[in-house]
Amino acid sequence: MYTIKVTNPNGGALHEQYYTLQVQAPLSVPLLNVSCHQDGGADILCRTDTGDDPWFSIMVNGHLLLENSTSSRTVEGTTEVTVPVTLPRPWDVTCSVRNHVSNNQTRKTQVTCPVPLSDPDLEVSCLHNGHLQISCSVKNGSDPIFSLSVNKNLLKENEKGRVNVSSPTQGPWDIQCAVKNILGEKSQSKTKEACPVPPSEPVLKVSCHNGSLQISCSVDSGTSPYFNLSVNEEIFTKNVTEGQKMINVTSPTSPGPWHVHCSVRNSLGEKTSSKTYETCPGSSCMTCLQKSVIGGVVAVIVTTSPFLIASFYIRRNTRKDQ
C-alpha cells in the first residue's frame, strides 16, 4: 500500500491519495489441447503454466467461443479453461491468454476428431442369374472397416470403405454386415428368401400313342415359367404356367412332318426350343409299310406279266394245231 500526500509550503495537507501496487508475473505461452468424445464432439483445453491473473479467449473457425474469461481453474499450479466444440470439422483453433504485462497465443489448424459410425445401410438386390447382390455402407463414420457374412459364411473381412459382393449360392440367405472404427461397432442383418431364376433351355420330347401325338416340354430351372407350345404353327397352349416346370399336351396325329416349337418365359427372360419330326417317334412307319406293300404288288405284276402273256399265246396256238 502506497500513500501520496501533497502539502503546501507551510506543511498543510492539500491532497492525500492511497495506491495499491500489484505486481504481476508474465504469462507463459498457452498449451492448447483437443479431447475427442465418443459422440464425435470435443473439448478444447487452454492452459498456462506460469503467470498471474490470466484472461482467456478461445476462437474456433472464426467464432469466439470464449472471450476475456477469468473463470478459470487451478490444477496443480497451472491455470486452465475448457470449452466444448460442436462446429463442423476440421477446426482452426486459437487460444489467447493475457494480463497487464503479457499477451500470448497458440494456434492449431486442421484439427479433427473421429466421427462415430451411423447405422449400416444394408441393401440386397437380385441379379438376372438368380444370385444376390449385397451392398453395405455407412453415411457417417471415420475409417469404417466392414465385415460381411452370408449364412454364417464370411465373404468379406476387414474391408475399408463401402463393400459390395455377389452371393453365388441360391436362397434363402441370412445376411449380416458389421462395421467398426476406433469409436465403436455397429451391425445390420437381413433375411432374403429367394431370387427369381431365369428359365433354362426347354427340353422337348415327342412320342406317338393310340393315334395321337404326345408332346412334353420342360425346364430344369426357372421361377414361375410360362409355356407356349405349337405344332406346325398351330398353337396348342399359350401362357400356361405349371408348378412342376413341365407341360404335356396331346394332339391328333396328322401326316408328318411335324414342326414342334416350345417357348418358356418368366420375368427374367425367354428360352425356346424347336424340333422337326419326319415320322412319329417311337412308332412304326405305317405310310412306309403301305408304300412297301403297294410297291411289292406292282413289282409282282410287272415281273409276272410277260410269263402270263406268253403262256396264254402258247396255249392258244396249241389248240389251233389240234
> How far apart are alpha carbons 92 and 68 in whole angstroms?
19
Instruction: Give the pairing of strands 234-241 and 246-252.
Output: unpaired
Tell me which of 270 and 194 has the higher pLDDT.
270
* Confidence (pLDDT) at 289: 39
pLDDT digits (tens, 9 = 90+) for 108-152: 999 988 888 999 999 998 887 778 899 999 999 989 999 999 999
| 31-109 CATH fold | Immunoglobulin-like (2.60.40)
Q: Closest Cα to residue 230, out of 202, 267, 211?
A: 202
Q: How many CB atoms lie within 10 A of CB 178?
A: 17
Please name the amino acid found at residue 93: V
User: Is residue 97 within 8 Å of residue 46, measured between CB atoms?
Assistant: yes
Do 121-192 and 31-109 fall under one CATH topology? yes
* Predicted pLDDT at 314: 60
State which fold the 121-192 domain adopts. Immunoglobulin-like (2.60.40)
Determine the longest span between alpha carbons in the chain, in angstroms: 216
Residue pair 282/303 in contact by the 8 Å Cβ criterion? no
Q: Is the peptide bond before 90 cis (omega within 30 degrees of 0)?
A: yes
The percentage of residues in the chain with a pLDDT greater than 70, rounded to a whole number, is 84
Measured distance CA(288)–CA(298) in Å, rounded:
15
pLDDT of the residue at 279: 72
Query: How confident is residue 319, by pLDDT bands cut at 50, 70 and 90?
Result: low
What is the spatial distance between Cα 14 and Cα 113, in angstroms, rounded to a whole number? 66
CB atoms within 10 A of CB 165: 16
**How confident is the model over 245-270, as a mean pLDDT?**
80
Q: Is the Cα dihedral 61, 63, 68, 72 positive or negative?
A: negative
User: Cell for 268?
Assistant: 427374367
Does residue 204 have a pLDDT over 70? yes
121-159 burial: b if 16+ Cβ within 10 Å, else e: ebebebeeebbbebebbbeebeebbbbbbbeeeebbeeb
Q: What is the Cα gyration radius of the chain?
A: 51
All cell numbers assigned to 203: 427340353
Q: Which grid cell is 141?
A: 463414420
Report the predicted TM-score, pTM, of the whole model to 2 decimal places.
0.57
What pLDDT digit, counting tens, does each position of 43-77 carry?
999 999 999 999 999 999 999 999 999 878 888 87
Residue 133, beta-bridge partner list: 125, 166
* Fold classification of 203-277 (topology level): Immunoglobulin-like (2.60.40)
- Using 50, 70 and 90 to split pLDDT, how confident is the model at 253? low
The pLDDT of residue 258:
82
- Give the rounded distance of the alpha carbon of 51 from its chain centre: 61
Query: CB neighbours of 35 closer than 8 A, spacing ≥ 6?
Result: 42, 43, 45
What are the two backbone dihedrals, phi and then psi, of residue 241, each rounded to the nearest 5 degrees?
-110, 140
C-alpha cell at 82: 475448457
235 confidence band (pLDDT: 50, 70, 90): confident
Please say if the pLDDT value at position 34 is more than 60: yes
- Banded pLDDT at 39 (limits 50, 70, 90): confident
pLDDT tens, 277-307? 877 665 444 444 344 444 444 544 555 566 5
Q: What is the pLDDT of residue 56?
A: 96
* Confidence (pLDDT) at 292: 41
According to the model, what pLDDT value does residue 309 have? 62
Dump pLDDT digits (tens) for 141-187.
989 999 999 999 998 888 887 888 887 777 789 999 999 998 899 99
More confident residue, 189 or 313: 189
- Helices H, strands E: what count in the chain? 1, 24
Domain positions in the chain are 31-109, 121-192, 203-277
16 Cβ neighbours under 8 A, 6+ residues apart = 3, 4, 5, 6
Lowest mean pLDDT among 51-55, 192-196, 259-263: 192-196
Q: Are 40 and 114 in contact (CB under 8 A)?
A: yes
